[in-house]
Chain A
Amino acid sequence: MIKVTKYVIYDIVRNRVLIAYTLFLFLIASTLFNMEEDPSKAIISLMSIVMIMVPLISIVFATTYFFNSYEFIELLVAQPLKRSTILLGEYIGVALSLSFAFFIGIGIPIILFDATATGFVLILSGILLTLVFISLAFLSSVITRDKAKGIGIALMIWFYFSIIYDALMLALLFTFSDYPLEQAMIPIVALNPIDLGRIIIMLKLDISALMGYTGALFKSFFGNSMGIFYTCCIMFIWIIAPLLYSIKVFNRKNL
């Protein structure tokens, strides 16, 4: 498995898209920090970018990479290797290199300009989102043989989690605004990794606003150290569940 991972990392590091992604993140982050006098405002702008770009790039890049290295995977399958090992090796390779790219691009400017708890939570949630969306990318890659279809599914997943889900949630809130939805909101949030990542950052950023109304409830659930722990657990479920399912599909798949 380590060998597979190693080959994948060698391959990705030379990939121009990944270098461009790293540079793009780095440029945006350092420009924002230089432009805004108040680093916490730069963090807010950065957060909106991270919440949109990181899932998109992660899922599209991982899907494309998977289909591009299809021949390599076919070659590996011909070797005396377990299929789950191959897929896990591929996953870890892609995950490590994309997380590393994110860390260089966003993490280093944050550490340089605003090494606060908010900054570190942003790095943490960015990396977790990267892992979740690579996992979802693998799922979308193994359930179809067609590259265009796979990327289409990946884009749909991204679109669903970043816009449609929130819009649906808003519609739900409007429809049931007469009912006490406080408790129901927490599982609903947990069903979207992007929302989850956003909320743990917001608990650090917009704490004044969140202390009002229902915010206090979120604060009491997500805000303490147990909340961060729960959030990470749910995020890990979001990483592991799609990956396990894609291994299951890949094991039975007729390549």
Chain B
Amino acid sequence: MPRLPFLFLIVLLSSHLLRAKTIDVGAAFRFKHPQPAIISAHNGDTVMLHKGIYIVKNLHINKSIVFKGENEPVLDVQMKDFGITITASHVTIEGITIKNSARASMTDYAGIQAMKARHLTLKNNILINTYFGFHLSAIDSSLIENNTLIGSAPDDARSGNGIHLWQCNFVTIRKNKISGHRDGIYFEFARFCHISQNISEKNFRYGLHFMFSDNDTYTNNIFRNNGTGVAVMYTKGIRMEGNIFADNWGSSSYGVLLKDIGNSYITGNTFLNNTTALYLEGSSRIQVVGNTFQNNGWALKLLANCEMDSFIRNKFNGNTFDVSTNGTISLNYFKHNYWDKYTGYDLDRDGVGDIPYRPVSLYASIIEQIPYAVMLLRSFAVDLLDKAEKNIPSLTPDQLKDDSPLMKSPTR
């Protein structure tokens, strides 16, 4: 019977739980403050924090306990220290509001700080006006779910990151809402992490920022209206699926900026109203498939040092410029994309245009050299130049073309 060991495990676990006790903290209970309750707790106990405002200074959790709030209790740090520091594994923090962590330029004060631990669960918490939100270093196999992080940093220089991971593996981050921080989600050496259904918006710098964080998966997140969008660097093996990158406006603002990214997948994302939707620099072997680029200034900026990237079945609609590049050679591959500016025909009616589409317009190349020329956008003279160049390409990269553009926008 394969189920027997499983049942045995459940019995064992529940007997363990039965031994665990719940310690209540609140005005009506023996413990008025969470710190002595945590000190008196044993591994496996639950510390239940009842409604109220508790003034704390770096609550230290060094045991495997569940620290749970009922009716949204508030821990007020009064701008003095960390909120909570976790140094034990198997810790759960749930339903707690943490307010006003300290701010400093030397120490990364955070709402919840955790280090060298595994199997943490941080759930349903609200962090208001914390410098860093969650600051995790050397954490394994943990879950950060359904938290709300509202930063209120005065400016870029005096702000911390929302969810900050350093040297972490197998962390799942989902359904969080992050705003008002420097970077919404910041990873450095965070590997095999799964980030899904988060909303990161109105942060000063990036909605998502990572470096050296291989093999992470990003699905169905929303990154919008951040200072400079999303920037990711020096990483390979990432998957970005079904995310929305929207409303990132500014001269150095990107829906997604990829720098030195390799072997990755960007599929089914939506890029909406960005100055530059997708910027690729030194990035190779990236599959960009089935994305929608809508109403961006530049849908794609593909620098000449990118190679072997594929762009397949993407939809380019209502963008001012579809693709721009800085060189004359392009070693990338375009196929079966839908371009709203395509004017070719389809005589054999197979849904694929008979003449190739060249997405780099002459004018886009001109602007690449002389940014001021942007003011001639849509003028008659420029339209004439573009038409002439389309017929006899001489200045725009010859190989950068879609040999089989779709006649109709792909429906997904």
Given contact pairs A38-B317, A38-B318, A212-B297, A198 touches B378 in the complex (Cβ within 8 A): yes
The answer to whether A195 and B375 have CB atoms under 8 Å apart is: yes
- In whole Å, how far is A201's beta carbon from the nearest beta carbon of chain B? 8
Residues of A within 8 A of B379 (CB): 51, 166, 194-195, 198
Residues of A within 8 A of B382 (CB): 166, 170
Q: Residue of A at shortest CB range from B254?
A: A212
- In whole Å, how far is A74's beta carbon from the nearest beta carbon of chain B? 38
A contacts with B, residue count (CB < 8 A): 38
Interface string of A208-225 (1 = CB under 8 A from B): 111111111010000000
**Quick check: is B331 within 8 A (CB to CB) of the other chain?**
no
- In whole Å, how far is B374's beta carbon from the nearest beta carbon of chain A? 6
The answer to whether B380 and A181 have CB atoms under 8 Å apart is: no
**Quick check: is B250 within 8 A (CB to CB) of the other chain?**
yes
Interface size class of B (residues with CB under 8 A): 35 or more
Cα A195 to Cα B378 with chains together (Å): 10
**Quick check: is A162 within 8 A (CB to CB) of the other chain?**
yes
The answer to whether A209 and B321 have CB atoms under 8 Å apart is: yes
**Quick check: is B188 within 8 A (CB to CB) of the other chain?**
no
**Chain B binder among A14-22, A40-48, A101-109:** A40-48
Residues of B within 8 A of A182 (CB): 372
Residues of B within 8 A of A207 (CB): 249
DSSP class of A's interface residues: helix, strand, loop or mixed?
helix
- In whole Å, how far is B254's beta carbon from the nearest beta carbon of chain A? 10
Residues of A within 8 A of B372 (CB): 173, 177, 181-182, 185, 213-214
Interface centre among A40, A47, A163, A170 (most CB of B within 10 A): A170
**Quick check: is B370 within 8 A (CB to CB) of the other chain?**
yes
**Quick check: is A146 within 8 A (CB to CB) of the other chain?**
no
The answer to whether B378 and A213 have CB atoms under 8 Å apart is: no
**Quick check: is B384 within 8 A (CB to CB) of the other chain?**
yes
The answer to whether A163 and B380 have CB atoms under 8 Å apart is: yes
**Quick check: is B369 within 8 A (CB to CB) of the other chain?**
yes
**Quick check: is A202 within 8 A (CB to CB) of the other chain?**
yes
The answer to whether A214 and B297 have CB atoms under 8 Å apart is: no
**Chain A binder among B11-19, B128-136, B272-280:** B272-280
**Quick check: is B355 within 8 A (CB to CB) of the other chain?**
no
Q: Residue of A at shortest CB range from B381?
A: A166
- In whole Å, how far is A249's beta carbon from the nearest beta carbon of chain B? 30
**Quick check: is B243 within 8 A (CB to CB) of the other chain?**
no
The answer to whether B376 and A169 have CB atoms under 8 Å apart is: yes
Q: Residue of B at shortest CB range from A184?
A: B372
Q: Residue of B at shortest CB range from A215?
A: B374
- Interchain CB contact (< 8 A) of A170 among B253, B340, B376, B378: B376
Residues of B within 8 A of A163 (CB): 380-381, 384
Given contact pairs A38-B318, A51-B380, A208 touches B370 in the complex (Cβ within 8 A): no
- In whole Å, how far is A51's beta carbon from the nearest beta carbon of chain B? 7
- In whole Å, how far is B328's beta carbon from the nearest beta carbon of chain A? 18
Residues of A within 8 A of B383 (CB): 48
**Quick check: is A167 within 8 A (CB to CB) of the other chain?**
yes
A residues 196-251 with Cβ under 8 Å of B? 198-199, 202, 206-216, 218
Give residues in B with beta carbon < 8 Å to A.
Answer: 249-251, 253, 273-276, 295-298, 317-318, 320-321, 340, 366-367, 369-384
Given A44-B378, A47-B378, 4 more contacts at CB 8 Å?
A174-B370, A208-B320, A213-B251, A213-B372
| A–B pairs, 9, beta carbons within 8 Å | A169-B376, A170-B366, A185-B372, A207-B249, A209-B377, A210-B374, A211-B275, A213-B372, A216-B251
A-B pairs, top 9 by smallest CB distance, nearest first, are: A209-B297, A166-B381, A213-B371, A209-B320, A208-B297, A211-B249, A212-B275, A206-B320, A166-B379
Give residues in A with beta carbon < 8 Å to B.
Answer: 38, 40-41, 44, 47-48, 51-52, 162-163, 166-167, 169-170, 173-174, 177, 181-182, 185, 189, 194-195, 198-199, 202, 206-216, 218
